[in-house]
């Protein structure tokens, strides 16, 4: 226990604190930009990133992973905020936390393996496209200066890291270009035009909504979507950090931790969030291995806001838009184009349909669920093909069944059989197949009965052990039908 605490908190503290500071600097522009996407004051996202990072550093399952306000959640809640306001968002965040805690207790981490790669790739691609599209209004058709600032931001973001590794490029873009704006007074929109900054620590408050059935009806669909999307992205990120550090982490503890973090954050004026792929990779790249890095990221973020709060409202929007363009490029899975050509047709289709459904519904949760359903259907179709081989031997006709026999496969299976009077007894050979359910047993009974109706003698042979067991339990066949 103490060993574990030391390993997860105290090993290599210097490197981890430095990594946390780097992440805090990179988090600020994102937290502000995600708040603006959601349509709330920047403080709602900044508080969220501070609180979620600090709470998850204790409650989460994956050391060195970074959580905070994210684009995935922000994009989900846009209609809720615009129709009902920020108080409903906070309430939805609290309920989101409750749902995630429940899912964590129910060990939903295990369910993640039912989300195939095709859906995951669709998820990140849809997220990337939506983040990009959310920035169009901040880039195009505002002013000539806006274009210039976006271009310079992108140049700084992509070229500077080659020469200057220690300080995150987004922060440099922010400082340099905000200074340039303050000196030149270019024709730009700023964060202050879209919201206000409050230089204070978050405080406990119960969201100002009527606690009744109607409120629940409004927020519940959002909370469910937020909970699902939050867990999908968090558990995907956890696997990425597992991979990058060659260590394993508890996915159930992470699910509960995400729930606890969101539950508390909602009461302190923060919007819901989850783990962040990009920030977690930055953290690990900087050498982070422990929970101390995540903790430091949260604390240092809040410290910076208290100190620099007045500055934040002066930040020109095109800088944040440029940073979001980089985030969306980093989020997109560029291996997808190769995937579309190489992966099985059905997987490629599931990936595309996931993206398309998300873009149509503006809801990542619906896309994930639809993607999982589609791939389940494809999987069932793929394995529900039973081949039947007919072989006529000297004193018996053999029908050999090859494949998985279950409710989805029996109809096409039976349709392949020609029921007529044969000159020799009919032997059904199940050595290459598996009977899975009562429908399968029922189908075997039907086949035997139909052959007998035509006046044949029928044997059921070579069932494997499991299949034999359910046939014994469920079948109406008698012993003389069954041979070895």
Partner 1 sequence: MYKKILLAADGSDNSFRAAEETLHFINEDTQVTILNVINPADSKEDVLHSGASESIVSKRKAKLSKITGLYASNNIPYQVHFENGVPNETVVKFANKGEHQAVFLGTRGLNGLQEMVMGSVSHKVAKRAEIPVMIVK
Nearer to partner 1, 244 or 359 (CB): 244
Nearer to partner 1, 239 or 253 (CB): 239
If one asks whether residue 285 binds partner 1 (CB under 8 A), the answer comes out as: yes
List phi, psi (to 5°) of 69.
-65, 135
Q: What's the gap between Cα 273 and its chain centre?
A: 12
Nearer to partner 1, 332 or 459 (CB): 332
Nearer to partner 1, 99 or 284 (CB): 284
Q: From the CB of 120, what's the least distance to partner 1, in Å?
A: 6
Q: Quick one: which of 102, 111, 244, 348 contacts partner 1 (CB under 8 A)?
A: 244
**Smallest Cα–Cα separation from 47: which of 229, 320, 298?**
298
**Smallest Cα–Cα separation from 157: which of 20, 300, 333, 330?**
330
Q: What's the gap between Cα 301 and its chain centre?
A: 25
Q: From the CB of 331, what's the least distance to partner 1, in Å?
A: 9
Q: Which of residues 111-150 bind partner 1 (CB under 8 A)?
A: 117, 120-121, 124
d(CA 158, CA 289): 26
Which tokens hold the place of 428?
A: 């059904």
SS (H, E, C) 250-315: CHHHHHHHHHHHHHHHHHCCCCCEEECHHHHHHHHHCCCCCHHHHHHHHHHHHHHHHHHHHHHCCC
If one asks whether residue 23 binds partner 1 (CB under 8 A), the answer comes out as: no
**Smallest Cα–Cα separation from 316: which of 168, 147, 161, 156?**
147
If one asks whether residue 418 binds partner 1 (CB under 8 A), the answer comes out as: no
Q: From the CB of 309, what's the least distance to partner 1, in Å?
A: 32
Q: Quick one: which of 281, 313, 340, 380 contacts partner 1 (CB under 8 A)?
A: 281
Q: From the CB of 114, what's the least distance to partner 1, in Å?
A: 12
Nearer to partner 1, 254 or 429 (CB): 254
* Piece of 1-9, 145-153, 244-252, 358-366 that binds partner 1 (CB under 8 A): 244-252
Which tokens hold the place of 413?
A: 């299976």
**Contact code string over 213-242 relative to partner 1, x by CB under 8 A:** -----------------------x--xxxx
Nearer to partner 1, 93 or 336 (CB): 336
**Contact code string over 82-111 relative to partner 1, x by CB under 8 A:** ------------------------------
* Piece of 72-80, 279-287, 387-395, 419-427 that binds partner 1 (CB under 8 A): 279-287
Total of residues contacting partner 1 (CB under 8 A): 26
CB crowding 204-241: b at 16 or more within 10 Å, else e = eeebebeeeeebeebbeebbebbbbbbbbbbbbbbbbb
* Residue in the structure block whose two tokens are 């100002």: 208
**Contact code string over 143-162 relative to partner 1, x by CB under 8 A:** ---------------xx--x
Q: Quick one: which of 141, 183, 185, 246 contacts partner 1 (CB under 8 A)?
A: 246
Q: Quick one: which of 277, 305, 355, 428 contacts partner 1 (CB under 8 A)?
A: 277
* Residue in the structure block whose two tokens are 């009977």: 435
For residue 306, give Cα distances in angstroms to 30, 53, 69, 202. 17, 17, 18, 11
Q: From the CB of 246, what's the least distance to partner 1, in Å?
A: 6
**Contact code string over 316-355 relative to partner 1, x by CB under 8 A:** -----------------xxx---x----------------
Q: What's the gap between Cα 345 and its chain centre?
A: 22
CB crowding 298-335: b at 16 or more within 10 Å, else e = bbbbbebbeeebebbbebbbbbbbbbbbbbbebbbbee
Binding site for partner 1 (CB under 8 A): 117, 120-121, 124, 158-159, 162, 236, 239-246, 248, 277, 281, 284-285, 287, 333-335, 339
């Amino acid at each position: 226990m103490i060993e574990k605490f030391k390993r997860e908190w105290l090993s290599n503290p210097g490197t981890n604190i430095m990594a946390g500071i780097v992440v805090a600097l990179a988090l600020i522009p994102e937290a502000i930009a995600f708040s603006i996407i959601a349509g709330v004051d920047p403080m709602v996202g900044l508080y969220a990133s501070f609180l979620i990072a600090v709470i998850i550093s204790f409650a989460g399952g994956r050391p060195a992973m970074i959580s905070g306000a994210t684009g995935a959640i922000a994009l989900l809640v846009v209609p809720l905020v615009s129709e009902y306001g920020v108080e409903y968002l906070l309430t939805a965040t609290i309920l989101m936390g409750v749902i995630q805690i429940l899912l964590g207790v129910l060990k939903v981490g295990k369910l993640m393996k039912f989300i195939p790669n095709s859906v995951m790739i669709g998820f990140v691609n849809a997220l990337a496209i939506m983040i990009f599209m959310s920035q169009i209004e901040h880039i195009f058709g505002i002013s000539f200066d806006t274009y210039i600032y976006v271009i310079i931001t992108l140049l700084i973001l992509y070229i500077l890291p080659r020469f200057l590794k220690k300080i995150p490029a987004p922060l440099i873009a922010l400082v340099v270009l905000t200074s340039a704006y303050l000196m030149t007074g270019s024709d730009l929109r700023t964060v202050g035009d879209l919201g206000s900054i409050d230089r204070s620590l978050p405080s406990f408050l119960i969201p100002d909504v009527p606690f009744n059935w109607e409120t629940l009806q409004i927020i519940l669909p959002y909370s469910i979507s937020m909970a699902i999307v939050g867990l999908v992205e968090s558990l995907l990120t956890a696997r990425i950090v597992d991979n990058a550090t060659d260590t394993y982490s508890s996915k159930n503890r992470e699910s509960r931790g995400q729930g606890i973090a969101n539950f508390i954050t909602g009461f302190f004026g923060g919007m819901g969030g989850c783990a962040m792929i990009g920030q977690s990779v930055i953290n690990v790249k900087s050498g982070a291995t422990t929970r101390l890095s995540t903790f430091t990221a949260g604390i240092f973020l809040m410290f910076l806001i208290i100190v620099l709060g007045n500055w934040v409202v002066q930040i020109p929007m095109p800088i944040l838009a440029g940073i979001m363009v980089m985030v969306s490029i980093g989020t997109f899975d560029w291996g997808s184009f190769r995937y579309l050509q190489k992966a099985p047709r059905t997987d490629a289709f599931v990936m595309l349909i996931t993206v398309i459904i998300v873009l149509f519904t503006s809801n990542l949760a619906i896309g994930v669920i639809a993607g999982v359903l589609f791939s389940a259907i494809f999987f069932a179709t793929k394995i529900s093909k039973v081949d039947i081989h007919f072989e006529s031997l000297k004193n018996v006709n053999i029908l050999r069944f090859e494949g998985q026999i279950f409710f989805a496969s029996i109809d096409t299976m039976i349709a392949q059989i020609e029921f007529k009077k044969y000159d020799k007894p009919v032997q059904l050979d199940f050595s290459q197949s598996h009977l899975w359910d009562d429908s399968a047993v029922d189908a075997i009974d039907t086949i035997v009965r139909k052959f007998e109706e035509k006046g044949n003698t029928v044997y059921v042979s070579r069932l494997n052990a499991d299949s034999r067991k359910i046939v014994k339990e469920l079948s109406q066949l008698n012993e003389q039908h069954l041979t070895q």
